Structure 1
């Protein structure tokens, strides 16, 4: 039996059916090492103590834990000239270790120097279906902030994310895209050329999902925690009432990050999320100068040289233009993204587990309800917008449906 590097076993664990970062870390802790964890999950009986994992999932995990999967991952990493780092590595971004459900592994294509903890990173997010005003604001912010000592982070979605990076590239700024799929896949496909240009301009593509992982609706809210986690602040350009951008903003607040919101047209419902954020105390952005002043940014040629932000030569980025020829294109892809998330969770169960007299954290709610994180975050946001609950970071949520209690 071939013995692989420990990080390859972590990548393999992350690729298993319905196994996320929490499971990966738990398996390694329980079984002693990445190798021992990989070897253990091959047998269903070793998964019996994990009562929160359905039996069907246990069987699927055991049956999919094949060493051929590790060979496939290694092949794709080499083919696409990817790099990767895990939570066991010294160079793993320490800023991500302090967010909720920190990732166990990050795959990278491009300039990994952009993850340096000393650098300023600002997230620029918003709706996929944006207005002309939203598009113009995103491009302006990307272009102007790209001239300064900051890096723009987004999810690379169509709409605001893409327009922000278009503006950024026009001023030769640096960008990071956090993907909701494997880095051997370009999603959405219409942004393939944009991703190529980001890489060519010393940018970076990042994902916690191993090569071969197709895009899925459940991946998008999960990757939002990494977008906000990498950033000092989050700018919401334009967001609908149930937008994934609000999930990113909510995570940012919970992680102690700043949230900025662009003023919107009061008659335009495409930005109802902006109105919600303004009502709830987000910083109202009057121009890119607000960001420059808030973070004491300097013009880019004053804060770095080409060498300090350039990746090693051996990691030259491969074009993503051929990524649509990967063998995943036959799989069904949810093209609606977050709009396909189901809100048919038992709301009464959730409200019954959030007390009126004290705050509870997301971790407490997850344990009490067993609602998956990708369903829980949008539901909490919806209840918060209705006034049924309030969020008081870092203490968590309190039920306001039958309470006159003020939290100080």
Structure 2
């Protein structure tokens, strides 16, 4: 538990970008907390007023109290500098500098987000449950937001499938929202899943925090499945983040007469991948039974991990000493776009290749 990171996250006016910059400059949260005012000033990260407020916060803050509260509540805390920080999330445009969690961090190497309307229909509930359950049975971790409607059914389906699920909260983990999902939150943790949040203890569930939370849902996932959504559904914000991060977007078709399916049907018209079962997603990624060997992997990987046959093939093309474009790989190899993207992402996480510009790769 990084109690200094928790104290940093609670400091008013710092914000995610400044905390990230401080962690990068001082290497860890404890160093930031113990640095002198002059040292922090010389880092040229905090404006004068923000620095003054932060120094005052340090005087008032009780580190021991933070520790006791978090330990009592069973809450852990890590930063983006920790090795156990989820690598998929770390490689996004704006990863949370500090991450709070209850339970265990995602323990499966394959993750899919399942999202949709809070005001779901019986059709949407049934589909969300079924797809999440089918994916969970194949050891795919289900990521969602713990909200009413589609989120709830996705988490329940994942639990009934015997797998893991992660709730990404938009509030401090000393809150439960919606309150009727208290037992669901408890089941998620007891089953080996997790509830995570970038918000410190004491942060109430406010509307403005939910859109920002959606970037974490997308960032933790290889792809996002939208089950049911109106044209103005908040689930479409998650889609925007997914597209920004190069994640796949899947959509479930619905009735042309249902307002609740206007958003999902529009996504299909714009090119989202149509799915009606969990197996559609398994086939799309060619995960298949290979997942059986991955069930005990952590959510981070190392350089020493062996490559799959598919990864080795792509890596050979990237290790010629010259840059290679994604479209050239598609021409040379017989993978679908989504399969190739997953392989390239995996090779980047294993630090075998790097993206030097959009869609251009080279070996490390």
TM-score, scaled to structure 2: 0.73
Aligned: 1:78 with 2:71: yes
Q: 1:24 aligns with which of 19, 22, 35?
A: 19
Q: What is the deviation of 1:154?
A: 0.4
Unaligned runs of 5+ in 2: 299-356, 360-364
Q: 1:92 aligns with which of 80, 85, 109?
A: 85
Structure 2 CA distance, aligned partners of 1:247 and 1:302?
33
Structure 2 CA distance, aligned partners of 1:304 and 1:35?
34
Q: 2:257 aligns with which of 243, 247, 267?
A: 267
What is the aligned residue count? 301
Structure 1 CA distance, aligned partners of 2:103 and 2:30?
28
Change in Cα spacing, 1:59 to 1:158, as seen in structure 2 (3 Å) is farther
Deviations 1:161-191 (A, max 9, x none): 0011112222222111111112222111111
Q: What is the deviation of 1:227?
A: 0.9
Matched-pair contact (CA < 8 Å) for 2:28–2:81: no
Aligned: 1:106 with 2:99: yes
Structure 1 CA distance, aligned partners of 2:37 and 2:121?
50
Q: What is the deviation of 1:134?
A: 0.8
User: Root-mean-square deviation (CA), in Å?
Assistant: 3.2
Please name the residue that 2:225 is paired with: 235
Change in Cα spacing, 1:301 to 1:225, as seen in structure 2 (3 Å) is closer
Q: What is the deviation of 1:8?
A: 2.6
Structure 2 CA distance, aligned partners of 1:129 and 1:47?
51
Matches within 5 A, 1:9-408: 9-29=4-24, 34-35=29-30, 37-38=32-33, 46=41, 61-66=54-59, 68-112=61-105, 114-115=106-107, 119-298=109-288, 302-303=292-293, 308=296
Matched-pair contact (CA < 8 Å) for 1:149–1:300: no
Matched-pair contact (CA < 8 Å) for 2:6–2:77: no
Matched-pair contact (CA < 8 Å) for 1:10–1:24: no
Change in Cα spacing, 1:259 to 1:38, as seen in structure 2 (3 Å) is same
Structure 2 CA distance, aligned partners of 1:41 and 1:267?
63
Change in Cα spacing, 1:300 to 1:74, as seen in structure 2 (3 Å) is farther
SS of residue matched to 1:209 = coil
SS of residue matched to 2:174 = coil
TM-score, scaled to structure 1: 0.66
Matched-pair contact (CA < 8 Å) for 2:41–2:51: no
Structure 2 CA distance, aligned partners of 1:256 and 1:150?
19
Structure 2 CA distance, aligned partners of 1:41 and 1:234?
44
Q: What is the deviation of 1:258?
A: 0.5
Matched-pair contact (CA < 8 Å) for 2:120–2:228: yes
Deviations 1:338-388 (A, max 9, x none): xxxxxxxxxxxxxxxxxxxxxxxxxxxxxxxxxxxxxxxxxxxxxxxxxxx
